[in-house]
Structure 1
């Protein structure tokens, strides 16, 4: 099958009188960049050999875009100017406004009435060309449109419009039009009228009962000029360049140069894939940044600090991270592509650093206020040194700044009581302390309702009750901390930061003991985080941010 460039050469020979003055134009589109595929849309081009055997000058074009279609139409108009017979076959997608019809080129987007431009071929204009050969002009339309709307004023498909006198128009499915063109139009001096119905084609315009349309087969048909050997090296070089650029325009350029090239179908497929991905350029630009996994984690931490939920800080940009990026872009006036640029990463990091500083300052204010309230309550209660005051303080501030002092003083008071208590009372209390369970303390209270250790027993019963109530939530918090998989270095970094903030976490050895848990609870309380004594992702993010900002000062 020859393309329209060879048809142009044939037109030149026709002008010199070397060939019969019959002209044919075959345009078949089976792959649209944005409008999808058309089953057997290009099969009509197979009729080219049969028409040439009958002496027709044939121009063919598969999946023509605006520029190649325009060139093919220009060459065809030159051929048709002096032609005795004219055959035009259009197969693919069409649009109409209720009166006029257009054949859509393969790069057409969803058309609109006033923006068709060069992306569509006016069927009415082609009919005007066909009108130059009344009684010997045939237009075949292979239309597989579904009749959907292209906006308010334009619909897909064709309608019966005004047909010039002497022009025959036959419409059907692309496969039926292709079969008719290939089987019937290749027969010389054949009455084609009966075959329209046989091939399920609808005929309008000039439709006599007898149409001996095709000419006699010429005794000799001059051999058409053979195409020069294709420069495979040039084609391969252009293809490799197109692949390197990997843009729709690069692939279109390859198809313009080599419409029947070895990679034409792959180029069509790649164009469709590119157009189907609206943010492809943004994705490729982010890929060019070659972000490491640590860099991606840092971006996720920055987003989390700014209250954009990435659903994890793992260095993998999944749906959660992409949605967080999209939301951040929307809030900052960027196109919502979900892919980051170098400029955006720098701005995000700056915002996160500022937010971390704000959070640290806010935490410091909370800490100072909490310390003020803690001290004021201590001075009114525990500082007096008596047992009720010490217990009142610990009840309000179990992890307070003076909790260790209060605990030590209560222990001393208890020791003094133990020494002064009657031997029986003291022994009963020692047994209850050794057992250290609800039943033992209740037995002590039952046996010694006025004993010296009633306050201690009641307090311990209250603690055990609260511990039981909190056990479920503590288990969940412990499991959440274990899921973080903290290594020894990270655990020591946490203890170091807690110590720097004067929260007294105990030895910096990576082992979280009771002092460490109390320090964590203090930090969580001061920073408005859920108070559990166990680390979670939010606490780690805040602690690391505090640590980084502390180093930067």
Structure 2
């Protein structure tokens, strides 16, 4: 016997009393059913239900499930599995979050910003699904449909769905909820076909066990007694079907109103009213449908977010998830281009956006090249009047004006040599006090040194450091924030090496291309940011990474 378990956002109560069960279908719904209907397009739940029931599948449903309901529904399903179970399929759609302990499907009604404790105690863990699916290697399909969210989550909770430790033999398909729903619609009509091309056709990413072919869910036909309708009934049913087909083809408010006017109690009246509710609740229904039909992959969505960022529209992250930030950026871009400001993109607009971003990237790089040339001209002129004179005052004046300049390493080295000479000549107590101040390296520490040693050998160095702290207090705070932002990017060694390689190609001298960001790398990043009028911190933030990637594309 095949037992099929699907968890999908819907608002249906499915049952097929009296039919011969060829499988069990469990549906747990935690998403707004109207939202899923809009995302899924033609993949309506009534059609999916009918397809599975025609194959003899016994269908049950749990919607708007809280933590207890999710666990109870899944436990009941798992308890029914036995040695006779041929294959299992599990589809989860809704809000997913991840912690260090794993990923969770959040219960319906949970607040937008749950705490870490709420996630781990009330969320439904994917590990539980893995544990059951692992018992059917090569015969288990897990489909995960994500619902977009723009919520700010607490530390320790991420909106990204992390797939890790997938059991051997378990196939996982992941993508936006609408894509997942359309995949299930096609799967419900499949009869033992290879399911992998169906998943790929809907833009789902496949993980875990991905063999060359994976035929599943053949189903069993159910023989039902045939009732021959009366001639008048036949004619009316045919007219009903034709009117419904016309309404679906137009997929407009007027089309469904026309159908209901002719067939207020028709076979599809309930679905027509549901679609009317969906259309009327979404002012840009057509535009949203057009974007959904593009079946944009997560990588394609990231590319759109990068293009918008290059053009100066803040998407609030480049994560492949179109939340409020991205929709707002799209709307602003459409307004600026005299387009219908729907917040949804069609194929022509995506091509136009990409062309504008590519052109802007080229413009920005040319502006950066010109600015870099001008900065270097000023740098050399200032050096000839200061550091090139070979005295301490000149070196300090140069470093104050160009701390990351062309000659900054030379100037600093010569100042270090002067300090070393003074240290060698200074008396022991003076040297000890200066060493303590240097180790503390704070404005208060240097002021304490000046108070105790007003005629010490390191007075000039102390005053220079105090001046640095006075001039750069705001920059120091910015640097601390930038350091945290770079850490949040979680750049791996490969990404770091690519960044260093690009900086080296631009002649910014980042040091060894080894994935380790040392002082040479930080100086090169500051030079890169300064030339492009980005926030100068020496750390990679999202804006800097976007520009580095654009520069790489332009090579």
Question: Aligned residue for 1:234?
Answer: 238
Distance in 1 separating the partners of 2:336 and 2:408: 45
Alignment of 1:94-243 (within 5 A): 228-230=232-234, 234=238, 237-238=241-242, 241=245
Residue 530 of structure 2 corresponds to residue 541 of structure 1 = no
* Residues 387 and 398, structure 2, Cα contact 8 Å, conserved in 1: yes
Residue 269 of structure 2 corresponds to residue 264 of structure 1 = yes
Deviation at 1:246, TM superposition (A): 6.4
Cα 1:427/1:341, change in 2 over 3 Å = closer
Provide structure 1 residue ranges, at least 5 long, that are not aligned to the other structure.
1-225
* Residues 475 and 537, structure 2, Cα contact 8 Å, conserved in 1: no
Question: Aligned residue for 2:373?
Answer: 368
Question: Aligned residue for 1:490?
Answer: 495
Deviation at 1:314, TM superposition (A): 2.0
Question: Aligned residue for 1:64?
Answer: none
Deviation at 1:456, TM superposition (A): 2.0
Question: Aligned residue for 1:350?
Answer: 355
Cα 1:312/1:428, change in 2 over 3 Å = closer
Determine helix, strand or coil for the equivalent of 2:497.
helix
Deviation at 1:363, TM superposition (A): 0.5
Determine helix, strand or coil for the equivalent of 1:480.
helix
Decide which of 315, 320, 329 is 1:310's aligned counterpart. 315
Give the TM-score normalised by structure 2. 0.53
Cα 1:474/1:276, change in 2 over 3 Å = closer
Cα 1:366/1:470, change in 2 over 3 Å = closer
CA shift digits 1:71-90 (9 cap, x unpaired): xxxxxxxxxxxxxxxxxxxx
* Residues 300 and 320, structure 2, Cα contact 8 Å, conserved in 1: yes
Cα 1:477/1:430, change in 2 over 3 Å = closer
Q: CA RMSD in A?
A: 3.0
* Residues 247 and 259, structure 2, Cα contact 8 Å, conserved in 1: no
Deviation at 1:485, TM superposition (A): 2.8
Cα 1:427/1:478, change in 2 over 3 Å = closer
Cα 1:288/1:480, change in 2 over 3 Å = same
* Residues 305 and 352, structure 1, Cα contact 8 Å, conserved in 2: yes
Distance in 2 separating the partners of 1:435 and 1:333: 58
Question: Aligned residue for 1:245?
Answer: 249
Distance in 1 separating the partners of 2:546 and 2:504: 17
Distance in 1 separating the partners of 2:429 and 2:271: 96
CA shift digits 1:304-345 (9 cap, x unpaired): 211222232222222222222222222223222222111111
Distance in 2 separating the partners of 1:318 and 1:362: 32
Cα 1:272/1:390, change in 2 over 3 Å = closer
Question: Aligned residue for 2:395?
Answer: 390
Cα 1:229/1:286, change in 2 over 3 Å = same
Residue 388 of structure 2 corresponds to residue 402 of structure 1 = no
Determine helix, strand or coil for the equivalent of 2:516.
coil
Flag as ranges the 4+ runs of structure 1 deviating above 6 A: none
Distance in 2 separating the partners of 1:440 and 1:471: 17
Higher-Rg member (1/2): 1
Distance in 2 separating the partners of 1:454 and 1:486: 42
Residue 289 of structure 2 corresponds to residue 299 of structure 1 = no
CA shift digits 1:224-253 (9 cap, x unpaired): xx9833458636754774685361365456
* Residues 247 and 274, structure 1, Cα contact 8 Å, conserved in 2: no
Deviation at 1:431, TM superposition (A): 5.7
Alignment of 1:18-97 (within 5 A): none
Residue 332 of structure 2 corresponds to residue 327 of structure 1 = yes
Cα 1:430/1:474, change in 2 over 3 Å = closer
Cα 1:329/1:444, change in 2 over 3 Å = closer
Provide structure 2 residue ranges, at least 5 long, that are not aligned to the other structure.
1-229
Deviation at 1:347, TM superposition (A): 0.9
Deviation at 1:420, TM superposition (A): 4.5
Cα 1:443/1:485, change in 2 over 3 Å = closer
Deviation at 1:269, TM superposition (A): 4.4
How many residues are matched?
325
Deviation at 1:367, TM superposition (A): 0.4
**Larger CA deviation: 249-258 vs 539-548:** 249-258
